[in-house]
Structure 1
Amino acid sequence: MLGVITFSGCKKFDEYLDKAETGGLSETEVFGDYVQTERYLANVYAQLLNDWMPSNSFTYAAASDEAKCPVSYFNGPQVFTRGLISPNHNPIDAWASLYAAIRKVNRFIEKIDAVPVKNATQVTGKSRMKGEAYFLRAYFYAELHKRYGTVPIVDRVLQISDNLNIPRNSEEELVRFIVDDCNEASAILPTVHTSANIGRATKGAAMMLKARVLLYAASLLHNPTSDVQKWQRAADAAEEVMKLNLYQVDGDYAGLFHKRTAANIIFQSTLNNTSWVKQMFVPSQGGSGWIQPLQNLVDDYEMSNGLKPDETGSGYDANKPYANRDPRFAASIIYNGSKWRENTIETFVNGLDGLVSEEGAKTLTGYYLRKLLDENGSLTPDNKPGDHFWVYMRYEETLLNFAEAKNEALTNPDNSVYDAVNAVRTRVGINMPALPAGLTKIQMRERIRRERRVELAFEGFRFWDIKRWRIGKSVMREARGMRALNQGGGNFSYTPFLIESRIYEDAFDLYPIPQSERNKNTALDQNNGYN
């Protein structure tokens, strides 16, 4: 086959690639028809990354200090927790898939202006699709930046005759390119969609993506000199989303991933993840329990009075460690004595779903996942997948992004920082106390980081926050669990214990550039620590 392609010449090979990307249709057939163009864009949406489980058995939660996977797979999260990631082995490498998606969206952007339209609806739709394409390209580059740092910017469809040895652009160039695409998208996209277009990018989504990218760019990983202007730009971008007055906090924390519309949803997947029930339910109800929360995370849930369990006056009782905690704890984690689908879950040693020391479905940590799971789903006696729609962006993240960036831009936190964090903490349904007054910048930083950890738990954020804050070597050293023993009469003893030691190096804050890509593109230099 290679000989035939070589003999036929570059032009025919390019045509072969083009048809592969357009589902076997020619460019003329696709971009000469509005409906086919819309289908092509839908295929680009399908390239959005799976932030829940980027590969089989791999979750970001279990590769961070949030959780543990009970089974070790060759490509499982232990590749990260045991320090095994390398340029030749990264089970969730996304370089090739993201650049393939960028090639598709570049083709779309090049062709969309010439797509014929037949009526006013298609005129409006054509403009909307163009905005969506700019949003998607910005999203794909943001995902590359988050993983690899600086990368080559490719803003057109490359041909085989082009020089494909393309060096990485600078941090400033890459961030500016992403921001420009976000601005282009937000200028075109509508603020809301009709029910027929739910799941498409909106003006708010493009603005939120810009705010997130600028926050990451201002963080220590990409801003080692702590340039305050970068933090201010991130704060301004998040504030612009707030000023849209389109979104509100939502206190239905347990129902977050189980509905298609809500006041806090900015951008959401249209795919119902029907496998979540099997993957995450407790073993006694037929599940595999693939995400088992760590005591590391449990310790960061405050008491209902706003104090940490180890603070004087918190009211923490070591014999009843789960009483009077932040309500987001019980909505996120199944613990010994939790009610789940009208059953009392037993995670104590020798309990029905009790703590074990051998790998398998049962808990190795003393906990199971509750957040993200639809309690209306089931595996036995009837198989009901429930409703599980991934949320890429929600308003509570906007507020926490603003608070973090604004606090870093100031000498001491002002009222706007307090207001943003308190809007998340004190909303109806959560009802946690407001932050205490008089916090220093450093104290506020720690409170914001803890609030992100709790509010956004198991949503993929912690994995990346550890990297951009460069705290991996301090928080990823060990994984801890809780051993519950049945003392009879409804009484239990609880003892924290070490599950495993973990390995984390500063180099892991960025992925390695895949060696296979460097073999093809000799202009690519490697990230520090992987040479």
Structure 2
Amino acid sequence: MNKIINLALLVVAVLAFTSCRKTFEDHPLTFTSEDYIWDNTDVTGTYARVFLTKVYSQLPTGYVRINGVILECASDDAVPSNTTNATWNIVNGGYSPMSTFDDNWSNSYSAIRKVNLFLANYKRVPWADPLVPQYLGAEARVLRAFFYYDMMKRYGGVPLLGNTVFDSNDPELFKMKRSSFDACVKYVLGELDAVKDSLRPDQTLANRGSGNGTAEGTDNEAGRMRKSIALAIKAKVLLLAASPLFNPSATPEKDYTGYPAFDKERWKAAADAAKAVMDLNLFALEPNRYTLSTTHVNKEFILMRFGASYQTTWGNIMSPVGYTVGTTVSNGLISPTQELVDAFPMKNGKPISDPTSGYVAATPYANRDPRLDQTVFYNGATWLTRAGAPTVETWEGGKDKPNNSSVNGGVQTQTGYYLKKFLANDANKTAFTPVMYHSSVTPTFCLIRYADILLMYAEAQNEYSGPDASVYSAVEAVRQRAGLVPYTLPQGLLQLPMREAIRNELRVEFAFEEHRFYDIRRWKIAKSVYGVPLHGVTIVKNTNGTFTYTPKTVATPYFNEANMFLLPIANNEVLVNPSMQQNPNY
């Protein structure tokens, strides 16, 4: 069980180690021997550090990592603009063990194996500073805990390897059974609690950005696991465990996933865990949300997957197809749905369905939540400077919906909208401000930010005790930063209306940050919001310059409640291991 593969046979990515902020990306591979990595003459442990840095490079990357589009193109928030994109196969037919989707099984176990290799060997290095191995060993265990969590939200219970490093031919590897979901939760929480006080110290707010919410912070070790990150991951795990998918209100027959009867105390544990992060007083909401796109280190980011430096590529591939910057034609790859657009309230905070909100169907984007303009390109939006067409034109025959195969190969919006999220505020500029994305290497991506913690707390506390003052405060802080006036929620909300308000706030605040796809599954609402017709809008420009907006159906996604709340384990994993049980009804 405790065999360790000879590292002389292992391909290790050798990274030019300076700081984590610059090295969490792939570099050319070289063969490196075991003695070279765990060098018993190197008091700095250079290659041992590099080995662990490689594990950081396997954290999720976000952006266009699924068939060249964003994960939310398989949710109720968007569809691919290109009708031949492979994600349409998921939209129309779902997924199966033979055709998986967002499958992170191999990547996660690869990372976990590297962690176990590191933990089995790093003490062989004669570290000059005893704090370094303490920090690195604790970091490795937090990383391992995160990779288990990342699988749990997809598959439920998964095999727990402990500290074992299996040889690829070890027969015990092919006898591993899935642990129950509860056992996985217990293991991950135990790991996080065991090392949270052994991690490198957290940085103060002052080192995470300027007071005006625009400048990059000066934390050179940002991205390294710290106590705050361990606590934030703990909150994520506990929220998942408290959610209806894993904490059902009706007692089902137990199976290998080990779903328990409903346990209200799980919500309290999740709320307490989120509150523990809030009580650190180490994070704050950035006053300018565009800061989240234009800085790697800021007051709001808690856990980031570091990668490329700033680039302009994202602007080219996401902007409406009628925009050409320099010699590059924009691609408009993502088409947000009408359902997402309608989820954004008016600037006064009222939903557009409220007769007193001031919403006018003939001018549907006027006086809306400022986050709509930061997330979606809509007809009439201001973007860059373009001769002859100063605003976005997604009306039939407009610059950005030309219905012409000679423009961008015929690829154009399916819904009347394009994706703007993660771009800078370039409405009045001639070129793109560099942002964090780069298409040729794995980019920086924020996995947990402070707004997430606030809304996690609000969700869990509301489910546990109802909408008390602390729930209002957490939600309203996010709404205030968004620019809603007034930002306050109606007083006297009951638990159900507050639940809906929190879920909608999560949707609009975290649009395209890989929340929605898994949120609608852990809440068990995917069938009612995703397995139904999704819409866009057909826009006709009238002779008097006004527009007529007509809803249209763009997709009716397939979703089977019998199995699709969890993802399937790839068929080859089940074939090579007879003990590996597939998720139900696949």
Per-residue deviation, 1:385:
5.3
Over 3 Å counting, the alpha-carbon distance change for 1:213 and 1:254 in structure 2 is: same
Q: 2:193 is matched by which residue type in structure 1?
A: N
**Correspondence for 1:158 among 143, 162, 166:** 166
Task: Identify the residue that residue 65 of structure 1 maps to in structure 2.
Answer: 76
The amino acid across from 2:372 in the alignment is: F
Mean CA deviation greater in 234-243 or 131-140: 131-140
Candidates 324, 329, 339, aligned match of 2:367: 324
SS at match of 1:426: helix
Residue 519 of structure 2 corresponds to residue 519 of structure 1: no
- Rounded Cα–Cα distance in structure 2 between residues aligned with 1:396 and 1:434: 16
Q: 1:157-212 CA distances to partner (integer Å, 9 max, x unpaired)?
A: 11333512111101111001111222234222221286332222222111111101
2:303 equivalent to 1:288 = no
Match of 1:213 among 222, 234, 237: 237
User: 2: CA distance between counterparts of 1:385 and 1:419?
Assistant: 34
The CA RMSD measured in Å over matched residues stands at: 2.5
In the alignment, what sits opposite 1:395?
450
Asked if structure 2 preserves the Cα contact closer than 8 Å seen for 1:308 and 1:314, the reply is: yes
Q: Taking structure 1 as reference, are residues 428 and 471 closer, same or farther at Cα in structure 2, changes over 3 Å only?
A: closer
* 1:350 and 2:406 aligned: no
Aligned residue in 1 for 2:492? 438
* Separation in 2, partners of 1:134, 1:382: 43
Q: Write the deviation string for residues 466-522 of structure 1: whole angstroms up to 9, x where unpaired.
A: 110111111111220022211134311112211122211111111101110011111
Aligned to 2:275: 239
1:308 counterpart (338, 346, 351): 351
Aligned to 1:135: 142
The structural deviation recorded for 1:17 is: 7.5
When structure 1 is superposed on structure 2, of 486-495 and 358-367 the one drifting more is 358-367
Does the CA contact (< 8 Å) of 2:7 and 2:34 recur in 1? no
Maintained 8 Å contact 2:369/2:483: no
Give distance in 2, aligned partners of 1:169 and 1:221. 17
How far apart in 1 are the matches of 2:316 and 2:138?
37
The one-letter code sitting in structure 2 at the alignment partner of 1:347 is: T
Say whether residues 1:455 and 2:509 are aligned partners.
yes
Cα distance in 1 for residues equivalent to 2:184 and 2:33: 32
Q: Secondary structure at the match of 2:284?
A: coil
Deviates more, 1:272-281 or 1:293-302: 272-281
Q: Are the counterparts in 1 of residues 461 and 471 from structure 2 also a CA contact under 8 Å? A: yes
Structure 1 match to 2:564: 508
Mind listing any 5+ residue stretches in structure 1 that lack a counterpart? 1-9
Percent identity (aligned): 36
Q: Are residue 372 (structure 1) and residue 422 (structure 2) matched?
A: yes
Q: Does residue 120 of structure 2 align to residue 110 of structure 1?
A: yes
> 1:252·1:429 contact (CA, 8 Å) conserved in 2?
no
Q: TM-score, length-normalised on structure 2?
A: 0.83
Give me the whole-angstrom Cα distance separating, in 2, the residues matched to 1:48 and 1:300: 30
Structure 2 CA distance for aligned equivalents of residues 129 and 347 of structure 1:
51
Cα separation, partners in 2 of 1:244 and 1:524, compared to 1, 3 Å: same
Distance 1:294 1:256, change over 3 A: same
Whole-angstrom distance in 2 between the partners of 1:191 and 1:26: 34
Q: 2:527 corresponds to which residue?
A: 473
Q: Structure 1 529/428 Cα, relative in aligned 2: closer, same or farther at 3 Å?
A: closer
**In structure 2, what is the equivalent of residue 171 of structure 1?**
181
Rounded to whole Å, the distance in 2 between the matches of 1:69 and 1:428 is: 27
Structure 1 equivalent of residue 377 of structure 2? 334
Amino acid paired to 2:535: R
SS in 2 for 1:283: coil
Letter in 2 for 1:131: A
Q: Residue in 2 aligned with 1:486?
A: 541
Shift of 1:290: 1.4
CA 1:111–1:84 in structure 2 vs 1: closer, same or farther (change >3 Å)?
A: same
- Write the mapping of 1:190-229 to structure 2, written as runs, cut at 5 A: 190-192=201-203, 195-225=219-249, 226-229=262-265
Aligned residue for 2:287, secondary structure, equals coil
TM superposition shift of 1:16: 6.2
Task: Write the deviation string for residues 35-78 of structure 1: whole angstroms up to 9, x where unpaired.
Answer: 0011111111111122223333242111101111012446x322
Question: Bigger CA drift: 244-253 or 83-92?
Answer: 83-92
Separation in structure 2 between the aligned mates of residue 377 and residue 325 of structure 1, nearest angstrom: 17
Given candidates 192, 210, 214, the residue that maps to 1:182 is 192
The 1:512–1:314 alpha-carbon spacing in structure 2 relative to 1, beyond 3 Å, is same
- Going from structure 1 to structure 2, the CA distance change for 1:451 and 1:528 (only over 3 Å counts) comes to same
CA distance in 2, matches of 1:452, 1:446: 10
The CA distance in 1 between the partners of 2:458 and 2:109, in whole Å, is 33
Secondary structure (helix, strand or coil) at the match of 1:51 reads coil
When residues 50 and 73 of structure 1 are mapped into structure 2, their CA distance, relative to the original with a 3 A threshold, is farther
Aligned to 1:6: none
Q: Residue 520 and residue 298 in structure 1: after superposition, are their counterparts in 2 closer, same or farther (change >3 A)?
A: same
The answer to whether the 8 Å contact 1:328/1:430 transfers is: no
Residues 514-523 or 27-36, more deviating: 27-36
Asked whether the 8 Å contact 1:105–1:137 carries over to 2, the reply is yes
Judge conservation of contact 2:57–2:305 (CA < 8 Å) in 1.
Answer: no
| Whole-angstrom CA distance in 1 between matches of 2:9 and 2:471 | 49
Task: Give 1:42's aligned residue.
Answer: 53
Tell me, in whole angstroms, the C-alpha distance in 2 between the residues paired with 1:451 and 1:110. 44
Structure 1 residue aligned with 2:21: none
Partners of 2:101 and 2:567 within 8 A in 1:
no
Letter in 1 for 2:332: G
Residue 302 of structure 1 deviates from its aligned partner by 0.8
SS at match of 2:551: strand
Q: Is the 8 A contact 1:87 1:515 kept in 2?
A: yes
Change (3 A) 1:462 1:278: same
Residue 25 of structure 1 aligns with which residue? 32
Partners of 2:384 and 2:114 lie apart in 1 by: 44
Aligned 8 A contact 1:218 1:231 in 2: yes
- Tell me which of 274, 277, 282 is aligned to 2:315: 277
Mapped to 2, the partners of 1:355 and 1:478 lie a distance apart of 25
Give the Cα–Cα distance (whole angstroms) in 2 for the partners of residues 302 and 138 of structure 1. Answer: 37
Shift of 1:128: 1.8
User: For residues 465 and 360 of structure 1, do their structure 2 counterparts lie closer, same or farther at Cα, with a shift above 3 Å needed?
Assistant: farther
Instruction: Figure out how many residues of one structure are paired with residues of the other and give that number.
Output: 514
Note the alpha carbon deviations across 1:407-432, whole angstroms, 9 max, x for none: 1112x321111111111111374555
In 2, the alpha carbon distance for the partners of 1:200 and 1:471 equals 35
